[in-house]
Amino acid sequence: MTEEDEFFAWLDGELAPADAVRVEARVAGDSALAAEAEAHREMTAGLRAAFAPVMTRRSEVVDFAARRVARARRIPAGLPQWAAIAATLVVGLGLGTMVGGRGGSDAPVTIEGGQMVAAAALDQALDRQLASNDQSGEPLRIGLTFRNRQGNLCRSFSGDSASGLACREGEQWRIEGLYGSSGAASGDYRMAAGGDPRLAALVDGVIAGEPLDAAGEVAAQRRGWR
Amino acid sequence: MATQSEFDRELRAHWPRLRRFAFALSRNAADADDLVQSAAERAMRSAAQWQAGTRFDSWMFRITRNLWIDTVRARGRHAARFVAEEQGASVGFDPRPGTEAAIDLSRAMAALERLPEEQREVVALILIDGLGYRETAEALDLPIGTVSSRLVRGRKALLTLLGETGND
């Protein structure tokens, strides 16, 4: 190890105690070396601080275990688009039931008056879950909560292999968009990263102002999402 | 062999660090997210190779880094012009050097951009992540002396690129 390598190893806390004491003494007696140590410490701290914002879980894969199930149960081809989408969401919720509006009492999406509305587990998640809580064990995650231009509350959600947006209308959550991922495996991950571009575009198109913060989300829930 | 739930727990716990490593390697948000997600996928497929109780982070860093090397090689072969565009973009980026003591992310990434790949990866693991020399050597399959000397060259170059804050 060169003297320079040793100096930096000391700076990084990599030297054995006896060696560290020796280098410490050398640095203490050499103001140029002490200044260099300080400059490098500052730079390292600055680098870490600069990278802190990317230390987020936002792009975390939603639920690894559920994803395996979803992979094992690919949606058969040939279904109408909306059914395939809804079925993807069902698989994403881990319920294993096809949606169809006929007796599917635990289907997460039903058709009422020509509109898709949230039901069962999706309805419950939209009503009960808070994005500010730890949602890592939930099959479905709530993303943003915000008001649309009509003043209604909207919430984005993502399951294992589908994501979407629902807006409050009366006592129901109307599905404004539902995006399934039936593409390649890498596509799943991209979507689970919270970054389905279609969902992002939809949110941008309907949002008025800023999304609610944690306190706003709790308050909105207390008011029954009105 | 680890159970799937152990594996999932480890992957979740280390996700933010992996994402940061991917950012440091690729210096580009879109590439970083693709990279860390591909790494998670590859890790899942080869989960049997990871033994519960051994260091999951080093193993994941290794997978991420190897994937990145593959990506860089593939781009080098097929799309040299992308490299030129990337470099062109970074040359134009120079946010008021010296006027701000704090290093922001784009400035840090622009500086990392100028380092050779072999220095960038040790800087990312040791300086930014705080991984030990030995763990870094294991993750990168390098002798510890090589890690140490690459780190010295990389950090000195970075100090010059980012401007010495203690020189007044």
Lowest mean pLDDT among A85-89, A120-124, A154-158: A85-89
Q: Contact at 8 Å (CB) between B118 and B150? A: yes
- Considering A162-171, A208-217, B42-51, B115-124, the range whose residues carry the highest mean pLDDT is B115-124
Q: Contact at 8 Å (CB) between A88 and A184? A: no
Sign of CA dihedral B107, B109, B110, B115: positive
> Is there a contact between A49 and B148 if contact means CB atoms under 8 Å apart?
no
Q: What is the pLDDT of residue B134?
A: 92
Q: What is the pLDDT of residue B2?
A: 62
For an interface test with A, give the residue of B21, B106, B162 to mutate (most A CBs within 10 A). B162
The residue of chain B with its CA nearest to that of A60 is B15
pLDDT band for position B102 (cuts 50, 70, 90): low
Question: Between A and B, how many residue pairs show a Cβ–Cβ distance under 8 A?
Answer: 118
CATH of domain B4-162: 1.20.140.160
* Mean pLDDT rounded to a whole number for chain A: 73
- Which has the closest alpha carbon to B68: B112, B24, B103, B126? B24
pLDDT band for position A107 (cuts 50, 70, 90): low
Q: What is the pLDDT of residue A114?
A: 62
- The tokens of A28 are what? 């203490």
pLDDT band for position A161 (cuts 50, 70, 90): low
Q: Is the pLDDT of residue A30 over 90?
A: yes
Average pLDDT over every residue of A133-158: 87
Which residues of A fall within a CB distance of 8 Å from B101? 46
Q: Contact at 8 Å (CB) between A177 and A84? A: no
The residue of chain A with its CA nearest to that of B10 is A64
> Is this prediction's ipTM beyond 0.90?
no
- Nearest CB partner across the interface for A61, out of B37, B126, B133: B37
The verdict on A53 touching B (C-beta cutoff 8 Å) is yes
The C-alpha angle with vertex A97 and arms to A129 and A71, in degrees rounded to 5, equals: 85
Amino acid letter for position A179:
Y
Which residues of A fall within a CB distance of 8 Å from B17? 55
More confident call, B166 vs B55 = B55
Lowest mean pLDDT among A15-24, A33-42, B98-107: B98-107
> Is there a contact between A189 and B148 if contact means CB atoms under 8 Å apart?
no
**Tell me: the pLDDT tens digits for A149-160?**
889 999 998 876
**Tell me: the pLDDT tens digits for B26-50?**
887 778 888 888 888 888 777 777 7
> Is there a contact between A54 and B152 if contact means CB atoms under 8 Å apart?
no
- Which has the closest alpha carbon to A88: A136, A140, A143? A140
Residue-by-residue DSSP string for B1-44: ---HHHHHHHHHHHHHHHHHHHHHHH-SHHHHHHHHHHHHHHHH
Q: What is the pLDDT of residue B77?
A: 55
d(CA A74, nearest CA chain B) in Å: 17
Q: Is the pLDDT of residue A101 over 70?
A: no
Q: Is the pLDDT of residue B13 over 80?
A: yes
Q: Contact at 8 Å (CB) between B23 and B33? A: no
The percent of residues above 90 in pLDDT, for chain B, comes to 39
Which residues of A fall within a CB distance of 8 Å from B23? 51, 54
pLDDT band for position A21 (cuts 50, 70, 90): very high
Phi, psi of A163 (to 5 degrees): -145, 160
The percent of residues above 70 in pLDDT, for chain B, comes to 79
Q: Is the pLDDT of residue A55 over 60?
A: yes
Distance separating alpha carbons of residues B91 and A183, to the nearest angstrom? 37
Which residues of B fall within a CB distance of 8 Å from A72? none
> Is there a contact between B103 and A14 if contact means CB atoms under 8 Å apart?
no
Which residues of B fall within a CB distance of 8 Å from A160? none
The verdict on A54 touching B (C-beta cutoff 8 Å) is yes
- The tokens of A157 are what? 């959600």
Average pLDDT over every residue of B60-68: 93
Q: What is the pLDDT of residue A110?
A: 72
Q: Is the pLDDT of residue A54 over 50?
A: yes
Burial of residue A165 (number of CB atoms within 10 Å: 0-12, 13-18, 19+): buried
Distance separating alpha carbons of residues A7 and A28, to the nearest angstrom? 12
Which residues of A fall within a CB distance of 8 Å from B132? 14
Which residues of B fall within a CB distance of 8 Å from A59? 19, 33, 36-37
pTM for this model (two decimals): 0.53
Q: Is the pLDDT of residue B153 over 60?
A: yes
Q: What is the pLDDT of residue A193?
A: 36
- The tokens of A22 are what? 């020796």
Identify any residues that bridge with B19 across adjacent strands, giving them in sequence order: none
